Amino acid sequence: MSKSDAILVRPPQDITVTDYDFVESLGLGYLVTEARSAGFRVEYIDALIGGIAKQELAEEILRSNPPLVGFSVMEPWYSAVAEICRTLKREGYEGHIVLGNQYATFLADEVLTDIPIDCIVSYEADESFIDLLNCVTLKSDWRNVQNLAFLATGRVVKNPLKPLIKDLDKLPIPSHEWFEKARDRYPSISVAGSRGCYAKCRFCTIPGFYGPQKGPGWRGRSPESIVDEIESVTREHQTFNVTFVDENFFGPGTKGKERVKAICREILTRGLDITFSIDCRPDDVSYEIFKLLKKAGLRTVFMGVETVSDRELEYYGKSTSRVVNEKAVSILNEIDIDVLCGFIPFGPISTLDDIEANLDFAFNLDNLDIFELFRRLENRPGMALYSRSSPCGRNTDTELLYDFLQENFRKYISGGALIRTLDGVSDNGYNTRIADIKNEFKAGIFRSFREAIGIIREKNDLTPFGMIVRERSENIYEKIKGLYTEVEESRS
């Protein structure tokens, strides 16, 4: 008999691992604690943090042979998960294989027909996962469990969805058993004070993930419950750093702001000596509230600026503006809170003017994750702007064209200079202080970027990304390719 009822796994990652990947998997942490509280014996393996390779992981699962094994699947983990599932089945594992998380949820049809698994628990999975575990361990029929997607006689079946969890205060404290191993590379403990978001940005997967289940877009825990958890986990793990993984730390309207103030007051009244980071929207930034947040320990804010082009902001459904973005950055600078801005510098309707305006804005920031400048709008399943479903692990033609452009931008315009600049400056580029590298960076990337923009503009005043994505025309593709080749040749 197996010593556990289930093994829950965060898989290893086939692509390069950075310090930021050492953030614990709070989703799995919740499922592990919830299942244990329901009386199940659950083993939790974070193969990425634990440095456990695919083969070793598969062997461990086969040795333990639990009735159920579950994998969390975000996009970069899929290839490893696929390989492990195939190995497990090939080696005769007869238990139940279940997947969850965003990638598995949004690409359920493709995933179920691509790899040998039993089911996917889609969307918010806490309650349905326990229902499934119950059925599997009791050997009863699991096919009626809500939120499940599975194959039946070659067809994908998607069961009705449970409503969203009403009261997040009732959830237990998630397991942090991998924190000790991760802390050398990511020394901050994760806390979720809310789930979802009240906004509906068309490039974001959060509205698509929490939207289909009945309930409000954004759900917050009470200040008391959050601060209780902070007190408990920071004491237990001897750390003073907390990362709020909340997609949006603020709830909607005045109530949302009052709740944030109440969290701050609770931290201050209890005299907790902590520092923390949050994610928020630019239009939630006000002097008064961020002054209080700083007093309570806020040090870093990740803020989705996206672009300073009002036209693009409207297209993205962000409901902010250039003025709002600039004001938010200026308030945070004044209060001396580190702000990391999220950008979508290249998108389907970006013009060269937009790209230049974003670069100018970015270079005036004190703190910049420079990789933000090399992002493009990704065609990610689950977002409203997702154009069409792509087969698992493969790009669609559109994406390939888009990637080709990005590759060229990286290679011809910025990549070389970026890598030279980063060499010896930072391990992975995250949180690199632009001040340290400003001169070299500007001289390298910025100049060549401007040169390239100049050449493109001189030849033809086009919007390359927009054209490619909207029109998908082979001619335009060739035209842009030619322009980039010229850029390359003019520099060699």
Q: How far is the CB of 193 from ligand SF4 (least distance, A)?
A: 14
To the nearest 10°, report the CA torsion of 52, 55, 61, 64: -90
Residue 304 touching ligand SF4 (CB under 6 A): yes
DSSP structure string for 168-196? GGGSPPPP-TTHHHHTTT---EEE--EEE
207 binds, among ligand SF4, ligand B12, none (CB under 5 to 8 A by kind): ligand SF4
Rg (CA), the chain: 24
Residue 378 touching ligand SF4 (CB under 6 A): no
Q: Are strands 298-306 and 338-343 parallel, antiparallel or unpaired?
A: parallel
How far apart (Å, rounded) are the C-alpha atoms in residues 115 and 110? 9
331 binds, among ligand SF4, ligand B12, none (CB under 5 to 8 A by kind): none
Of 171 and 199, which CB lies nearer to ligand SF4 in the complex structure?
199
Site mask for ligand B12 (CB under 6 A), range 126-155, x = bound: x--x--------------------------
Of 219 and 281, which CB lies nearer to ligand SF4 in the complex structure?
281
Q: How far is the CB of 143 from ligand SF4 (least distance, A)?
A: 33
Residue 204 touching ligand SF4 (CB under 6 A): yes
Site stretch for ligand B12 (CB under 6 A), options 73-81, 109-117, 286-294, 385-393: 73-81
Q: For residues 442-461, which are near ligand SF4 according to CB under 6 A?
A: none
How far apart (Å, rounded) are the C-alpha atoms in residues 332 and 358? 19
376 phi, psi to nearest 5 deg: -130, 160
Residue 119 touching ligand SF4 (CB under 6 A): no
Cα angle vertex 181, ends 58, 69, to 5°?
A: 30
Site stretch for ligand SF4 (CB under 6 A), options 25-33, 201-209, 359-367, 369-377: 201-209
Nearest to 377 by CA among 462, 291, 323, 315: 315
Residue 289 touching ligand SF4 (CB under 6 A): no
User: Which of 281, 339, 361, 432: binder of ligand SF4 (CB under 6 A)?
Assistant: 281
Site mask for ligand SF4 (CB under 6 A), range 140-169, x = bound: ------------------------------
C-alpha distances (whole Å) from 263 to each of 193, 241, 267 are 10, 16, 6
Q: How remote is the C-alpha of 267 from its chain's centroid?
A: 27
Of 207 and 381, which CB lies nearer to ligand SF4 in the complex structure?
207
How far apart (Å, rounded) are the C-alpha atoms in residues 173 and 210? 21
How far apart (Å, rounded) are the C-alpha atoms in residues 10 and 72? 5
Q: For residues 212-271, which are near ligand SF4 according to CB under 6 A?
A: 247-248
Residue 71, classed as helix, strand or coil, is strand
- The neighbouring-strand residues paired with 70 are 8, 98
Site stretch for ligand B12 (CB under 6 A), options 8-16, 267-275, 314-322, 354-362: 8-16
Residues 5, 67 contacting (CB under 8 angstroms): yes
User: Which of 88, 136, 148, 199: binder of ligand SF4 (CB under 6 A)?
Assistant: 199
Residue 124 touching ligand B12 (CB under 6 A): yes
| Helix H or strand E segment including 58 | helix 54-64
How far apart (Å, rounded) are the C-alpha atoms in residues 175 and 307? 37
Alpha helices for 307-415 (secondary structure H): 310-316, 322-335, 352-363, 397-408
Of 8 and 199, which CB lies nearer to ligand SF4 in the complex structure?
199
Site stretch for ligand SF4 (CB under 6 A), options 114-122, 194-202, 411-419, 459-467: 194-202
201 binds, among ligand SF4, ligand B12, none (CB under 5 to 8 A by kind): ligand SF4
Residues 8, 28 contacting (CB under 8 angstroms): yes
Q: How far is the CB of 192 from ligand B12 (least distance, A)?
A: 5
| Residue ranges that bind ligand SF4, judged by CB under 6 A | 197, 199-201, 204, 206-207, 247-248, 281, 304
| Residue ranges that bind ligand B12, judged by CB under 6 A | 8, 10, 13, 20-21, 23, 25-28, 30-31, 70-72, 74-76, 98-103, 121, 124-126, 129, 192, 204-206, 245-247, 380, 382
